[in-house]
Amino acid sequence: MFGHDSALDVYRQALPVILVSLVAGLFAGTLLGTETMRQGIESVPGILLLLPAFLATRGGVYGSLGARLSSGLHQGLIDPHFEWNGRLKNAIVASFLNGMIVSVFIAVLAWGVLLVLGRAGSLIELVIVLVVAALLSAFAMLGVLLTVIFKGYRRGLDPDNVIGPVVTTVGDVFGVAFLLVGIATAGVVL
């Protein structure tokens, strides 16, 4: 079905997604510049330090999942009609666990950098913020990712052409938004 796409086909499939990603990326930047986010950055030492790594992790982990599912669809290993089979479950669980574990690692690393720099910071606060943000963004990203891959594939879109921009943009938007939720949660818990 795919594999012999012309450059024009790839361009036609990818351009609208890239344009939507551009607008959504601007939205994520706007969210990052809000007064609420600025207050969150000021109230939780280390947030600005871990933000780029956290957002990159969303794109990396779930981009890998998208590539894995896309390859499975192309090779006929995954049915284009969504169904919970062992291959799909394993890929999703592995990505979810990778995202959660790496998020905790990022929190610990950011806390360590704060210590080296002689700045105050709370390890438990950073871990709570990132665990909450990682958990919520995982559910949101999995929902978007699975919908785009399976519905797009059934409608004739090559997931390889669209999933990269979708995952990175959704990761940025949800990552920033759920960092705010994580900051608020840590404020309530601690």
Q: In total, how many domains does the chain have?
A: 1
143: containing domain: 7-189
Residue 141 lies in a domain: yes
Alpha-carbon span 64 to 76, nearest angstrom: 18
Is residue 10's pLDDT more than 90? no
Residue 54 lies in a domain: yes
Q: Specify the CATH number for the domain of residue 55.
A: 1.10.357.20
Query: pLDDT value at position 129?
Result: 98
Taking every pair of C-alpha atoms in the chain, what is the biggest distance, in angstroms?
Answer: 57
Query: pLDDT value at position 5?
Result: 66
Query: pLDDT value at position 4?
Result: 55
pLDDT tens for each residue of 90-131? 999 999 999 999 999 999 999 999 999 999 899 999 999 999
Alpha-carbon span 9 to 131, nearest angstrom: 40
Query: pLDDT value at position 7?
Result: 78
> What would the two tokens of residue 179 be?
């960092």
Residue 135 lies in a domain: yes
Residue 2 lies in a domain: no
Query: pLDDT value at position 12?
Result: 78
pLDDT tens for each residue of 130-183? 999 999 999 999 999 999 999 999 998 888 888 888 899 999 999 999 999 999
Query: pLDDT value at position 142?
Result: 96
Q: What is the overall mean pLDDT for the chain?
A: 90
Residue 26 lies in a domain: yes
The closest alpha carbon to 134, from 92, 97, 90, 89, belongs to 97
Residue 1 lies in a domain: no
- Quick one: pLDDT band at residue 26, thresholds 50, 70, 90? confident
pLDDT tens for each residue of 45-79? 999 999 999 999 999 999 999 999 999 998 988 88
Query: pLDDT value at position 85?
Result: 87
User: Strand, coil or helix: what is 79?
Assistant: coil
Residue 136 lies in a domain: yes
Alpha-carbon span 151 to 157, nearest angstrom: 9
